[in-house]
Structure 1
């Protein structure tokens, strides 16, 4: 016997909304975005004929074939391992510095409860926007003038750019935290510092750590790119050997980057699994 209840006599059934309604703001927004995408394709000089020509495909195939034969020279591999460790160290130190300073800037940039005046919110968010709007390569070029060639400039460039990114993400996480626990502590006369430590941060800490791990993965790739401008690590080897068209050594550097990214991705995955238990 079926357990489904019969419909009520006065129940009103509504038809599904139309796919496009003149009063639907979301529909107009989607239409505008599609128009921008079409205009972007139209404005770019995309020469698909040359890209997919037989001659271009033959050159790309020869280039890929040369990359599939990495160098196994012992002397070169002895230089490759320290460069890998240098790139890893740059990403770790840069991400840790960014997490610390990003949290310090996120606190004044967030309105954590309804009655929070957040006097420094605008200035803090403006600083965070300025930090992340400048690419890592530009920060590295500026810092190379003061710090010279080497991993210090690359590490600081990663830290400055990532501070802007993590600071904004941390501020959004703090603002979206439920106000209930903090409100209960404020009713009992607890100060804002203790409310932050015992109510707000414990709720958003897994989210903040997840953001930090994700940026660490990105900074591995960015640290490798920064070496192109002389910031050390794998990027410096990549720029050197690629500039000399030494494809076997270039292939080994790319393989080392792949191994490093996969290792960091696996470490981040297991760290998230541990935090979710």
Structure 2
């Protein structure tokens, strides 16, 4: 299937109702209030099956850089190099992510938080780099952990989410939906980027060739639910009917939780 044929560009005004709900987040995605319920899907992370190591992603980066194995093609310009000097390589991806392959197992946020004796998401916070602090106390994660990606739900969870949404729409796969991509994803600060297509093609939308991420927002024409993925967060919010939210909470392949302090 040609994704760019299945999801066609429509006028940016189609996302204006979301901007009215959340006028302060137009650059990183629009966060809708619960309508009437909401849940956060935590982006997946993985651990190396042989166990954790104290070596961090930044340690690996520094070791590789020290022996000149980064490659000249990857060497940034002088201005960028100056900005990056002293920066920590955290190990956190930005944009699309997915299961790393053999040798890795899914590591849930709950499992890691339980081991550290800390909450999954601290009260008053959103799923992001303020969470699971003992897992990256100096900023960089253990090299034996692939931490949650920032800004985009992982591929497997996106496909699972699409399946749950299909079961909760009367028109099923033919439900007409719209997807908004924020300027931090598109790089287009002049026009709102909105595409329209079928819910049945939403799983494939994850790998839209013109985008580095899943949509910042996805919703059906009747606006009965909204998916929100902020470019700066490690979690994706879904708002909609309680039956849909409870189905997401009960799904064994998704790690989901309610954050009552979020709107």
TM score, norm. by length of structure 1: 0.21
From the two aligned structures, give the one with the greater helix fraction.
1
From the two aligned structures, give the one with the greater strand fraction.
2
Q: Which has the larger radius of gyration?
A: 1
